[in-house]
């Protein structure tokens, strides 16, 4: 009996041990937890658009007078009695600018007039006696010649009298004044400097290799130091290059009512035509390690990083010259947080602009920043932005 009880007790203990060990065994057989899948980044996408973009040549240079007129004295030994204009005065052709002393010149005119009257009287008598033979022919010729000489002398003094009035040779604006009241002038003394017809021009300096692309009549846009924009028209291209810089000068006429002033320095661009450009929103292009990349949407919404070559940038659009084709779907916003092979969630662009509306006229969407391209890769003019899907 005692042995039977011990055996029963042993069997019960083994049963309890088996029951307790079962959960532990199942726990050991349970596979390890799988890490959660990384959440997909919400992005917007667009395809490259083909647009007509203006081809431009950047330039810089000084603003100067189209032509300057130097107004100087034509007579000497006379003092200035009146100065009638100052710097900045707009004048008309023939307008009186200054006066010189006329007293001595008027006396010379009166004297020349008296001599002419005398010579004319002698010539008249000689003509009346010419047929009678009372005077030798040689003396008659002397009287007639004396009359002509006296006439010329009077005209010379009248010219000197007219030269005492300093007149404007053309319409324009006075740019400089050296005439001083009371100063005695000499022949050739500069009294005023004038901008003819108040016309200015931009003498834009460009690389010599671009000179053949510029023709008279093309439009140019420049920015003044104060931020004002002015448009002009190419008048001519210099026929020679600077021997030191190998640059050419383009002469661009500016409107007379512009805020430009002679002596300013301006930068701008000359429009040489238009060309087709494949563009993407500027936020789609990412600069990493000195190279430009875009993220193209592939199968299962996985992105592939593509290196691209960029051209001009304008109005929020960047020209793509190589790296993707027109059928590609490219991440527009959120690309700065992506890596090659990431999975994304595509969301529509907020308030996409209608066809033909320029990007700056449409509500702006949040974009990642794009550093400015290096010189030569990011300059140019843009057209309308393309549709965004």
Is 247 contained in some domain?
Answer: yes
d(CA 388, CA 81): 75
Phi-psi region of 177 (alpha: psi -120 to 50; beta: other; left: phi over 0): beta
371 within some domain = no
The three-state secondary structure class of 71 is: strand
What is the CATH classification number for the domain harbouring 354?
A: 2.40.420.20
How far from the centroid of its chain's Cα atoms is residue 183's Cα?
44
Give the whole-angstrom CA distance, residue 90 versus residue 67.
15
Looking at the fold, whether 115 and 158 belong to one and the same domain comes out as yes
Domain holding 180, by residue range, is 70-101+164-197
Handedness of CA 371, 311, 55, 45 (dihedral sign): negative
Tokens of 203: 């003498």
Token code pair at residue 104: 């001595």
Say what the pLDDT of residue 250 is. Answer: 96
Over the stretch 321-368, which tens digit does the pLDDT of each residue have?
898 988 899 999 888 888 888 898 888 866 554 443 333 333 333 333
Residues 112, 142: one domain? yes
User: What are the φ and ψ backbone dihedral angles of 117, each rounded to 5 degrees?
Assistant: -60, -40
Residue 386 lies in a domain: no
Domain contains 36: no
Same domain, 143 and 169: no
Cα 365 → chain centroid: 29
Any domain includes 280: yes
Give percent of the chain with pLDDT exceeding 90. 56
CB within 8 Å of 56: residues ≥ 6 apart: 269, 270, 271, 272, 379, 380, 381
Q: Cα separation of 155 and 47, whole Å?
A: 83
Together in a domain, 231 and 336: no
The residue from 197, 214, 248 where one domain ends is 197
Same domain, 225 and 315: no
pLDDT digits (tens, 9 = 90+) for 91-129: 999 999 999 999 999 999 999 999 999 999 988 888 888
């Amino acid at each position: 009996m005692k042995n039977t009880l011990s055996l029963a007790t042993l069997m019960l203990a083994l049963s309890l041990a088996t029951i307790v060990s079962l959960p532990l065994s199942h726990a050991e057989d349970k596979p390890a937890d799988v890490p959660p899948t990384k959440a997909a980044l919400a992005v917007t996408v667009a395809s490259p658009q083909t647009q007509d973009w203006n081809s431009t040549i950047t330039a810089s240079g000084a603003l100067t007078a189209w032509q300057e007129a130097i107004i100087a004295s034509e007579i000497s030994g006379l003092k200035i009695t009146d100065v009638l204009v100052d710097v900045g005065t707009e004048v008309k052709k023939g307008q009186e600018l200054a006066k010189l002393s006329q007293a001595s010149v008027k006396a010379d005119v009166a004297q020349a007039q008296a001599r002419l009257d005398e010579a004319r009287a002698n010539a008249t008598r000689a003509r009346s006696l010419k047929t009678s033979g009372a005077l030798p022919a040689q003396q008659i010729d002397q009287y007639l010649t004396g009359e002509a000489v006296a006439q010329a002398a009077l005209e010379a003094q009248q010219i000197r009298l007219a030269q005492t009035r300093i007149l404007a040779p053309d319409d324009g604006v006075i740019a400089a004044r050296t005439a001083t009241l009371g100063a005695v002038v000499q022949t050739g003394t500069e009294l005023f400097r004038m901008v003819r017809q108040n016309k200015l021009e931009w003498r834009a300096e460009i690389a010599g290799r671009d000179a053949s692309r510029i023709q008279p009549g093309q439009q140019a846009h420049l920015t003044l130091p104060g931020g004002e924009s002015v448009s002009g028209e190419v008048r001519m291209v210099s026929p020679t290059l600077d021997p030191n810089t190998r640059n050419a000068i383009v002469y661009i006429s500016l409107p007379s009512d512009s805020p430009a002033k002679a002596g300013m320095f301006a930068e701008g661009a000359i429009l040489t035509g238009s060309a087709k450009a494949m563009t993407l929103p500027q936020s789609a292009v990412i600069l990493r390690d000195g190279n430009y990349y875009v993220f193209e949407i592939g199968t299962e919404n996985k992105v592939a990083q593509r290196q691209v070559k960029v051209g001009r940038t304008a109005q929020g659009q960047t020209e793509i010259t190589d790296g993707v084709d027109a059928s590609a779907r490219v991440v527009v916003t959120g690309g700065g947080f992506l890596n090659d092979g990431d999975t994304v969630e595509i969301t529509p662009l907020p308030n996409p602009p209608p066809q033909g509306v320029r990007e700056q006229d449409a509500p702006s969407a949040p974009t990642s920043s794009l550093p400015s391209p290096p010189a030569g890769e990011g300059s140019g003019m843009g057209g309308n932005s393309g549709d965004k899907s």
